[in-house]
Amino acid sequence: MMKEIPVQEAVGRVLFHDITRIVPGEFEGRAFKKGHVIEAEDVPKLLNLGKDNIYILDLEEGFVHENESAVRIAQAAVGEGIQFSEPVEGKVTMTAVSRGLLKVNVEALERINAIDEIVLATLHTNQQVLAGKQIAGTRIIPLFTGEDKILQVEAICREHYPVISVKPLRSLKVGLVTTGNEVFHGRIEDKFGPVVREKFEKLGSTVLRQILVSDDVPMTVQAIHDLIDEGAEMVVATGGMSVDPDDRTPASIRAAGGKVVSYGSPTFPGAMFMLAYIGAVPVIGLPGCAMYRKATVFDLLVPRILAGETVTRADITGLGHGGFCSGCTECRYPDCGFGK
């Protein structure tokens, strides 16, 4: 596939080797990289380097250059919310267009990477990403590969489309119920409300109203129902989530008609988390750690609900592998292993 031709005839062809430029005392290094596609403006530069003839890669039918391969893989794999770069040294990088939930079909990803010479790498699925975040990259290992391998990738992507996407987060109206005699009677200041409001604002949602209640089941049930009647599309109950006898939030969620998905999550922080549904409205029992820890079970599951997913018990139990936060001095979530 390699042959020597005059440089003037090489436009559009692929260099098979690096070409070095040497200026004594000033520069010595690579002027053109192996795999470079020669353009018209490259011809005089190559002639100045003494390259009247060059070796090029003349691909036979059935083979695909690394740049084209990477573009085709990216085109086949990505769905909504993602844009991808031009190939740079054979690699295409995928970037989130806007804030959302990264979704990766891990089974399809593993099948793609099982194909010899193919590389497609992503961040972990189900994490929140911001606009401009680089989320994946792809390339082939050699300079060119058999087209049959790219066709295999494209077939897998059609079967599991999209393999990679960023789902937008819905803007929901959230009702907040803060339980506890100490807050209800004004003995201490509520610390939960401001934290929860800020978290939802960063996710693009708003707290419709906050209701303070005592450790009283009927009062808490009434508050949950009032918020849903007022249009709350999600209800978050804070406080009273431990196993202490006077912590009655889980019982209140059940008494309000909540169908419990899970009480307890294999995550630290956030083990005492509860998720239930009253009709289509998700009702969350949020443990106290959310007040003072940057990343908790809230940050692992609430973005999935905002992305329109119905979170199942299997989703929650699956958090165990990676659900132990390292408690780093400077929290880098979501660029860490928590929940992954």
CATH at 110: 3.90.1170.30
pLDDT of residue 172: 98
Q: For the residues 144-163, what does the mean pLDDT come to? A: 97
pLDDT of residue 1: 60
pLDDT of residue 239: 85
Together in a domain, 163 and 206: no
Together in a domain, 210 and 241: yes
- pLDDT per position as a tens digit, 77-122: 999 999 999 988 789 999 999 999 999 999 999 999 999 999 999 9
Asked if residue 145 is part of any domain, the answer here is: yes
pLDDT reading at 210 higher than 90: yes
Residue 47 has a CB neighbour count (10 Å cut-off) of: 12
Together in a domain, 144 and 85: yes
What percent of the chain is predicted at pLDDT more than 70? Answer: 96
pLDDT of residue 168: 97
> pLDDT class for 245, splitting at 50, 70, 90?
low
pLDDT of residue 2: 66
pLDDT of residue 306: 98
What percent of the chain is predicted at pLDDT more than 90? Answer: 75
* Cβ-based neighbours of 63, under 8 Å, separated by 6 or more: 1, 144, 145, 146, 147
* Cβ-based neighbours of 137, under 8 Å, separated by 6 or more: 91, 92, 93, 94, 119, 120, 121
What whole-number distance in Å separates Cα of residue 38 and Cα of residue 198? 53
Q: What is the pTM of this model?
A: 0.85
What whole-number distance in Å separates Cα of residue 127 and Cα of residue 129? 6
Domain range for 191: 173-320
pLDDT reading at 316 higher than 60: yes
Per the prediction, the chain carries an average pLDDT of 92
Q: Could you say which of 121, 144, 167 is where a domain stops?
A: 167
Strand order from edge to edge, sheet including 134-140 = 82-84, 92-96, 134-140, 118-122
Q: Could you say which of 167, 195, 213 is where a domain stops?
A: 167
pLDDT of residue 31: 87
- pLDDT per position as a tens digit, 18-50: 788 887 877 778 788 877 888 999 999 999 988
For helices 147-159 and 106-113, the axis angle rounded to 10 degrees is: 170
Together in a domain, 41 and 109: no
